[in-house]
Amino acid sequence: MPAPPGGGKGVEHVDIDARTLRTFREVTLTGSFTQAARRLGYSQSSVTAQMRALERQVGEPVFERLPSGVRLTRTGTVLCDYARQILTLVGEMEAALRRPAANPPRMTVGVVPALAYGQQLARLTHIGRRLLSGVQLALRVMGTGEIHDAFRAGTIDGALVLTVADADDHLAALPGALADPLRAERPDDLTEVRLQEVEFAPVIGIAARSRGPAAAGRQVVIADPDCPSQRWLPEFLRLRSDGPPEIHELGSMAGVRAAAQSGLGCAMLPMALAASPREAGGLRPLPGVPRMRWNASLVSARGDDRPALDWENLAETLRQATALACAVPAGEEPEGTAVSALGPDQGLAS
């Protein structure tokens, strides 16, 4: 975007209204004027006009145009930090003026089992208390296949789900089996904001692996049959053997991990579970199967009448909590665990 006329050196006062800051914040979250307009219910020309007026106020470009969207300039990054603080204060003011303190509004968010493990739900709650001021965050663990029904019934406001990452070589090799049902069947009144890529590792119990590589892939333990991260491993093994593996569905990642540890079968675990010796004792990499990544995304209803700031802060809550879950602390990758021993180029033994 070209520099606004007049330059920024002579600007002494900046008078930016909250509506423009909310639009600016939505563009920074989506990386696109078009997507920001869609989520806010504006026309793209309205968003473009607001951002040009914002740059005139600031005196410098705040966005750099790219073929795939926009990204913040140095000035835009500074403005983004202050915009978040200002909008948080505005939200607190709105809550104090309009919402009864004894009955805060509730945002109910469905979380698929593959992202509801260990300390993840606690992280969501702690970060939500800080960022979602005046809003009660209610988390509901539900299968991917239940998400649409929950939206139709009005029992959830949003959902934290896993969707297929674009341009993934391993997924491209299995196009028919690994279609993302949530994305393919998503009605027009739902929208998706990608938050963070989450890596999963294929693991097997030590006792099961000792029986040989052929036996290792005959049984698979999963948490959610409609989740891309859980459907991938059985399909990968089916296409590389003489028949489909036996599948055990347990409904939670804690159950999947425990079943794999006990030798019931192999499993696809998020790295937060597969990398930590405290969480994944007795587990080893499944030979010949690569680690994979999926997108953690916030799915929400279009045209929701909640304040835009609530959605922005919910997206930021989910993004921060997921990013923390993806981080493997120093010293948590001892030799022989799924993280250090797994190689992406191993061939699956028959």
Mean of pLDDT values over 139-165: 89
How many C-beta atoms surround the C-beta of residue 175 within 10 A? 8
Provide, for the chain, the percentages of residues in helix, strand and coil under a 3-state DSSP scheme, each rounded to the nearest 5.
45, 20, 35
3-class secondary structure, 138: strand
Distance CA 211, CA 220 (A): 15
* Residue among 244, 339, 247 nearest 291 (CA): 339
CB 33 within 8 A of CB 44: yes
* Residue among 332, 301, 298 nearest 317 (CA): 298
Which pLDDT value is given to residue 276? 63
Query: φ, ψ for residue 265 (rounded to 5)?
Result: 175, 180
10 Å CB burial of residue 94 (0-12, 13-18, 19+) is middle
Is 83 a residue whose pLDDT tops 80?
yes
Each residue's pLDDT tens digit, 238-260: 888 877 889 999 988 889 988 98
**pTM higher than 0.85 for the full model?**
no
Mean of pLDDT values over 152-175: 70
3-class secondary structure, 246: strand
Contacts of 186 (CB under 8 A, 6+ apart): 148, 192, 299
Distance CA 216, CA 287 (A): 9
Mean of pLDDT values over 326-335: 50
Which pLDDT value is given to residue 161? 94
Which pLDDT value is given to residue 106? 84
How many C-beta atoms surround the C-beta of residue 228 within 10 A? 27
Which pLDDT value is given to residue 335? 40
Could you tell me the two tokens for 181?
């049902």
pLDDT band (50, 70, 90) for residue 72: very high
